[in-house]
Structure 1
């Protein structure tokens, strides 16, 4: 029975990551990280196995061939009022997409600096196909202080952005290292 439940969960997760494919290419973002899997499982209802995790889907939007976004919040919060937020975004790679993850991040940083001039931004690590970064701001007009750690991953057909955001002061070093590990694990899966 336990193996059947595990198999069902794996199938559900495979179906989920397959849904994130945006264009004609067959690729998805897969993860076996327990925290990421727990967050993703909050979307599905499996009979006789109610979800008991700490997250729920707060918002999702999908436009075929263009983009998809899913935002998860702690189960006792809402998308309108949250303390922590986990986000997965998928964009179809098109001719006008930034050439690489560093350029994509630079564009996001420039937009953030226009809104919040005092933002503190730091690249944690980067490679040809992905970049992991963090930022923190306070005293930004219309936006509460927050800390975010995020990763941009370039596939052949799609671009993914995954992020953990927390309102308030920057997270402690132990929590920071945990989210660096969590966001570093997901990989592009060619199908």
Structure 2
């Protein structure tokens, strides 16, 4: 049975965090093989992050990670926000590589490969960022590997492209 991650995000926020998001991401990712490894509410008006790891793993020792992040009130255009992130990451770890897969006015999907650096293992991720009405949303899938396989990229790109921003009690699609 497939559940929707946005339902999990809302339930988690309502059950123990300080703020309730104005918007959420709709995705049909099956949460069955995943468990929450980390979650943080950034405070009222700031957003939240949720990170899922495979069952049996934890946030300190994971091989794969799926995350949802909401940066409430972040109005920086997606291309500028992600370019700033890349520049900062490349300054921290030379050898960081970045490739845009798809871009629209309100969304950017990219792959980023982080080399082993500053005590961190190599990591690769595919990410889709969305510009909502109330801030920026980020969905990403990561692996501790130098590169994602083409099979993984195809699977997760499809998953990310099928996701979108919803708003309100009826979860109305806005983007």
- Pick the TM interval, shorter chain: 0.7 to 0.9
Greater strand content: 2
Q: CA deviation at 1:136?
A: 1.0
Structure 2 unmatched runs, 5+: 14-18, 169-175
Query: Match of 1:171?
Result: 148
Matched, 1:28 2:7: no
Query: Match of 1:54?
Result: 33
The separation in 2 between residues aligned to 1:28 and 1:182, in whole angstroms, is 16
Q: Deviations over 1:97-139 (max 9, x none)?
A: 41x1101101110111011111111111100001000111324
Query: Match of 1:134?
Result: 111
Q: Which has the larger radius of gyration?
A: 1
Q: Deviations over 1:40-65 (max 9, x none)?
A: xxxxxxxxxxxxx2110001011221
Query: Match of 1:90?
Result: 70
1:13 to 1:116, Cα distance in 2 relative to 1, 3 A: closer
Alpha-carbon RMSD across the aligned residues, in angstroms, is: 2.3
Q: CA deviation at 1:91?
A: 0.9
Q: CA deviation at 1:161?
A: 0.7
Q: What stretches of structure 1 move > 6 A for 4+ residues in a row?
A: none
Query: Match of 1:157?
Result: 134
1:129 to 1:13, Cα distance in 2 relative to 1, 3 A: closer
Greater helix content: 1
Query: Match of 2:78?
Result: 101
Structure 1 unmatched runs, 5+: 40-52
TM value normalised by structure 1: 0.76
